[in-house]
Each structure stands twice: as structure tokens, then as C-alpha cells.
Chain A
């Protein structure tokens, strides 16, 4: 079972419970469903006048960000605070690592301060796996985005959004549109959608933005937006980085929007009740028209709210403190 790339020996403890959350790939459906069920219960917490639960009181969580991020970092911070944990935000540009300290030294120094969890974003694929390999026994690692590899909490908040709007996954056709090549979000979404058993996962992009052999992850490939959107239930748009024009992957933003931008006209090709999603931040007029982003089918802002609930769920589960933890433990002897 311990073949390279089987992360479950690292992500799950001996009882099969979540210990680190590094990637969606290979996790059993049971764990993903647990995350969604737990998150559902936290959605309510966010809607109450007092938004705190005491599940992680006394725990110290470090947000260790080597890449800039607003949404992901703030929603992780809010999630930790709503669980009553103490939160430390470390931004690399203002810290010792910028002076050449290695990732491992940074981690070990912070662990020496008796921290309990790291939420890490790093520009290198596999960085959170590296930290999990070197973590002290009581420390959990949550991947908040590693290179172009994975962004599992983003994928799970997308799954929560889909489930809350569509109910079951099995009959759905989901299209992911845009820069699949560089997207850790797309990779995690593809694994999550397939594990949860959706009918079909489509990826839609010009060939320059499609990684080699993306079909092997369980996707159907389209290079035409019109053909790819036909009959889909969910459209997930990806952000297009401006650097892609310089690296000879695309001719211009204009041509990209003409061919792959989501307009009302293109959206009409999907099912009438199709959801429009985007992990943000959005580039209006580059990958998505404002009228669609702000339109009735868009759930982009809901995704942000659900992001807090999903991160609360993952954090509490990894610390063994989820609201359902006692229940799960009681069921185990069966």
C-alpha cells in the first residue's frame, strides 16, 4: 500500500481519520462526505449572531503563506477564529525565510513554539507533503495550495456549493474551463468530482493550457467552449494569469475572451439551471463577462461563504474535534 503517491498512509491516522489534509487524490469518498456533512453544520454557525464555537479553544494555528493570497488566507483565519483557536499569520516576504531560512527550519522553529497546525501555501508542488513528512507527531498540516499540484480545501468548498445547490452528484455533468495546465484548483476539483461520483467531468481549454494526458485523471477534453458547455449542470471558470500571454501560451486576452470567455450567450448552451462558479479572484472581461459573474446563475460569492465552513470542518476534523467526532468514534466498533 505504501507505493509512491499513495498519500493516505500520511493523510489518515491508524483509525482512518483525517490527520493532514494535503490532497483530495486517493481519499475515500467517506472522508469527503464527512467533510461536506461537517461543513454543512458549520454553515449555520456563520449565520448566527454569535459566530463562535469552542471546538479548538487553546489550539494554535499558523497560517504560513509563501505566496500572496487574500481570500484563502482570510477565510482560513476566520475559520480558525470561529473555532476559538489562536491564529498566527506569517507572510514570507516579511519573515526570516525571505532571508534564506529553509522551509524545514521555519517549520521546526514554529513547532518549537508549541503550535498545533500549519495552514501552508507554497509555490512548490509537494511543499505540504514535505512538511507533513517532517511534522511533529501532534502537528497537522493543511494544504492551502502547493505549486500547481493541489488546493484541496478550495475543491471541497466547490463540492459543498454544488451539493447545496444540486443535491446529489451522480447525475451531474461538470465543466472546468480555462488554464487547467497551471491550476492546482482544477486538479483537486477533478479528483473530488470523480471520487464523489459525478456523471462526467469535462475540461475545456485551448491545447496550450491543457496538461499532457489530462484524460488520465478522469476527464473528457474539449477545445471548443460551445461544444463543451452543451448540457452541463455546473460551469467552473478558472482565473487566467496575465503572465500566460508572455510565455507564448496565448496570443491575447481579447482572443481568449472571444473563444473561452463565459458570456450569457455561451452560458445559454448549458442547462438552464446550470451553476456558474469561479474560485476567484475573477478577471472581468477576460474569462468571464460581468453580466454572468453577477447574474442569477452565479454562486461565486456563496463559494466564499462556504469556504469558511469547509475550512472549519477540515481544521476541526484534523484536530480530532469535529462536532460529529464522538459519534463517529462510537460507531467504530461495528
Chain B
């Protein structure tokens, strides 16, 4: 295996509280030392990182890779290539593929394809209910044995509270974390954007805040009853942040994430009917956005994810409510997160923690840190390089981004996965 030295980089690793210029040494796919080289270390590759930042590879809690079943949109190969170009070394893929990841065979297929493509690590969530239909329990024990890191209904409703309760209990039996995206099966189901003054103006059916909070309340009560470890995906409202903070304060084992775009965009951005801003949960008010930012800063929300959903162009070439929701977001996760530091929402260490060790802890994996001994998943970032987003240059098969023309600072120059250089900016 390669021995690599990354020289003179500004190493920032929130989990080990390292923040300073250090050399970093890798051997056999692991970080072997920070600062001083181990005795007799002779690197085969040297990466000069003076003036650049070296940080753990990003861990993304939710990326749709579209395989199997939707290869017209993207493939595991195309999307993991996009991931590493954005510094993302681990992605977690929800079970709403086609077929659904509710049998070990599908989980194995995803793992196999990811291995073939050989770039980012691809983890899977198994289905919580059979076919995600919300009626029968999925074979969670078998899914866990095949390597699924958790279970989820991927935003599909479980209407019957008895089924939800039993699904949580069964998941708890096997120590599986349940990933819940709170959305009431009735409130705002026919909606397309946040219910508020903008939806009133545009005449677009609305999705009220209670669509999220009512379901969040039901889930919290059942989590408390069953004692399952649960993670809330894609919070979008100020009230949700309060509810999760309260639950955590009362000792419930719950965590939460937010999609990076929710920390930047609001309902006002939808006012031009641009389908690129069509997302679920919807973009909400400035007050919600600010509360989500505060939730990230204060550690109520411990992960920021991409919520990557690549689409083929036709999918977004229609009037707003004739389009599918979602953003191709793997390549904007890091830029949007760094931008929050520039905007003063929180400091660099907090920002990086929420995209590295924070999500890794939720997933229960060892990465997201540069502590010697751990797997060498990391990236080198030229933090001063300014660039403007041109959707045509995205490596993802999906070019559906609302951030066309946005100016960012900071660009990934190298990405290493298990000590292998899988991306280098040319």
C-alpha cells in the first residue's frame, strides 16, 4: 500500500481539536501520524498543501445515487465520482431505490456496484417497512447482517401508528438507528411549497409547518415509549428545532440533520416559479432558516447533509408543480457549508464538524476524523480559490441546482479514500 505525506497543510479536525499547520502521514490506508513522521517513514507520494486546508473527508447522510432503478438519472459510478470531487468520502443512500432496499440482495447489489466504482464509501439504509408501504415490517435483522447502517421509510408515510410503534420496537431489538423524515400523511400532501404569503401569491398549494411538526410529535412520543435510537432527517422549521432540542434535553436518544440548501434558501426564492427551488421539505421562511442555522451552531442539529437528488433535465423542464422535487447537491455541500462560515453563522470548526464527525457519529462509523489510526478518508481544500458555479461543469449526472451563478470560496484539490488519491483538481 501507498505511503503518502501531505506536507505543510493547515490541518483542521474538529473531533480531535487539531487546528494548525501539520504534516500528515498515511500508510496502508490509515493515518499513521500527524506532525512528526513515524520512524523511517519514506513516502511514495508527497502532496504539497502549503496554504491549503486538510480536513476529514465529508460524510453525507443522504444522497440518492439512483441505482438500482433510475439509471436514466444517475449511477453509483457517476455520483461517487461527483462526491469525491466535492470532498465527500462517505455517502449514505436511502432505501427508496427501485427495487426498494428491503432485501439483503438489493443492499448487496449497491455495495457491489460501489466497490466496482471504487471511489467514495457507499453505505445503505434498509427499509423500515416492506416496500416502504408502511404496512408490514421489513426484514431488518437480515438487512443489518448485509451491512445496512440503519433503517428508514425514506420519507414515505407510515399512517398506522401501531405499525410505526412496532417498527421502532423491532428496530430497537437489533440496535438499529431509525431514520425518520417527518411528514404528516395528510397535512399538505398535495402541496408544493411552504404554506405562507408566497404560496398565497403564487397560487401554489401549500405545505404547512404542521405537516412536519405534527409527525415529529407523534414520532417523539413513540421513540420515548420504545426507547429506539432515532435520527430526524431534513428538519425545515424553527419549531422542529425546538422540539428536538427539548427531546434531547429530556434525555431522548435523538439526533437531527438539515439539508445544506435549507440553511441558505427561503420561500422567497420560489417566487419566480423556478422548479430548481422545488424541494421536499419545502423552503420555508427566513425565521425558519435562521433557527435552523442556530440549531446547527448550538449542536441541536449535528449533521448537515446534501440531500442529493440528481434528475435528468426533462424532469425540471415544466411548470413548477409539474416537476419532481430535489437538488443535485453533492458538489455544493462543502461550498455551502464554508459559505456559512463566511456569513458568520458559525465558526469553521463547527461547520466542518457538522459534515464530518457529526454525521459519522450518527451513522456509527469510525471516519470523519483525522485521529492517527483511523482510515485515511480526507480532503485538501484551497480555501482561497474563488469560483462561480456553472451547472454544466458538475460531475454529477444531475445538473438540477438552484445555485447557478453563485460565487463560492474554497475548492477541493485532493480527495483520498482509504489512503488512495481518488480525486485531484486539474
Q: Is B314 an interface residue (CB 8 A)?
A: yes
A125 proximity list for chain B (CB < 8 A): 202-204, 273, 319-321
A124 to B323, CA, bound (A): 10
A211 to B204, CA, bound (A): 10
Query: What is the chain B residue whose CB lies nearest that of A134?
Result: B317
> Least Cβ distance of B12 to chain A in Å?
36
Residue from the list A3, A149, A212, A216 in contact with B203, Cβ < 8 A: A149
Assess the B320–A102 pair: CB atoms within 8 A: no
A211 proximity list for chain B (CB < 8 A): 199-200, 206
Query: What is the chain A residue whose CB lies nearest that of B317?
Result: A104
Residue from the list B199, B206, B270, B317 in contact with A4, Cβ < 8 A: B270
Report B326-360 CB contacts with A as 1/0, cut-off 8 Å.
Answer: 00000000000000000000000000000000000
Q: Is B299 an interface residue (CB 8 A)?
A: no
Chain A 133-189 interface residues, beta-carbon cutoff 8 Å to B: 146-150, 184, 187
A187 to B203, CA, bound (A): 8
Q: Is B67 an interface residue (CB 8 A)?
A: no
- Contact A213-B271, Cβ < 8 Å, known A5-B201, A124-B322, A148-B205: no
- Contact A5-B272, Cβ < 8 Å, known A124-B321, A125-B321: yes
A102 proximity list for chain B (CB < 8 A): 314, 317-318
A213 proximity list for chain B (CB < 8 A): 196-197, 200
A103 proximity list for chain B (CB < 8 A): 318-319, 322
Q: Is B424 an interface residue (CB 8 A)?
A: no
Q: Is B312 an interface residue (CB 8 A)?
A: no
A146 to B202, CA, bound (A): 10
Assess the B199–A104 pair: CB atoms within 8 A: no
Q: Is B268 an interface residue (CB 8 A)?
A: yes
Query: What is the chain B residue whose CB lies nearest that of A125?
Result: B203
Assess the B200–A217 pair: CB atoms within 8 A: yes
B273 proximity list for chain A (CB < 8 A): 125-126, 129-130
> Least Cβ distance of B272 to chain A in Å?
3
A184 to B197, CA, bound (A): 15
Assess the A124–B320 pair: CB atoms within 8 A: yes
Assess the B195–A212 pair: CB atoms within 8 A: yes
Interface centre among B272, B273, B274, B317, by most chain A C-beta atoms within 10 angstroms, is B273
Q: Is B169 an interface residue (CB 8 A)?
A: no
Report B187-213 CB contacts with A as 1/0, cut-off 8 Å.
Answer: 000000001110111111110000000
> Least Cβ distance of B34 to chain A in Å?
47
Assess the A214–B314 pair: CB atoms within 8 A: no
B200 proximity list for chain A (CB < 8 A): 211-214, 216-217
Q: Is A62 an interface residue (CB 8 A)?
A: no
Assess the B203–A147 pair: CB atoms within 8 A: yes
- Contact A104-B203, Cβ < 8 Å, known A213-B196, A216-B197: no
Chain B 248-286 interface residues, beta-carbon cutoff 8 Å to A: 268-274
Assess the B201–A212 pair: CB atoms within 8 A: no
Report A109-140 CB contacts with B as 1/0, cut-off 8 Å.
Answer: 00000000000001011110110000000000
Q: Is A25 an interface residue (CB 8 A)?
A: yes
> Least Cβ distance of A250 to chain B in Å?
17
Residue from the list A3, A129, A147, A217 in contact with B201, Cβ < 8 A: A217
B322 proximity list for chain A (CB < 8 A): 103, 124, 127
A126 to B271, CA, bound (A): 10
A150 to B270, CA, bound (A): 16
B321 proximity list for chain A (CB < 8 A): 124-126, 147
B204 proximity list for chain A (CB < 8 A): 125-126, 147-149
B318 proximity list for chain A (CB < 8 A): 102-104, 124, 130
> Least Cβ distance of B288 to chain A in Å?
15
Chain A 211-238 interface residues, beta-carbon cutoff 8 Å to B: 211-214, 216-217
A211 to B270, CA, bound (A): 17
- Contact A148-B203, Cβ < 8 Å, known A122-B319, A125-B321: yes
A146 to B322, CA, bound (A): 12
- Contact A187-B320, Cβ < 8 Å, known A129-B273, A212-B195, A212-B206: no
- Contact A4-B268, Cβ < 8 Å, known A103-B318, A149-B203, A184-B203: yes
Assess the B197–A212 pair: CB atoms within 8 A: yes
A149 to B322, CA, bound (A): 14
B206 proximity list for chain A (CB < 8 A): 211-212
Assess the B202–A212 pair: CB atoms within 8 A: no
B199 proximity list for chain A (CB < 8 A): 211-212
Query: What is the chain B residue whose CB lies nearest that of A182?
Result: B203
> Least Cβ distance of A191 to chain B in Å?
9
A149 proximity list for chain B (CB < 8 A): 202-204
7 contacts between A and B (CB under 8 A): A4-B272, A124-B318, A125-B320, A127-B322, A146-B203, A148-B205, A187-B203
Binding site for B on A (CB under 8 A): 3-5, 25, 102-104, 122, 124-127, 129-130, 146-150, 184, 187, 211-214, 216-217
Binding site for A on B (CB under 8 A): 195-197, 199-206, 268-274, 314, 317-322
Q: A149-B204, A211-B200 are in contact. List 19 more A-B contacts (CB 8 A).
A: A3-B271, A4-B270, A25-B201, A124-B322, A125-B203, A125-B321, A126-B320, A126-B321, A127-B319, A130-B318, A146-B203, A147-B204, A148-B203, A149-B203, A187-B203, A212-B196, A212-B197, A212-B199, A212-B206
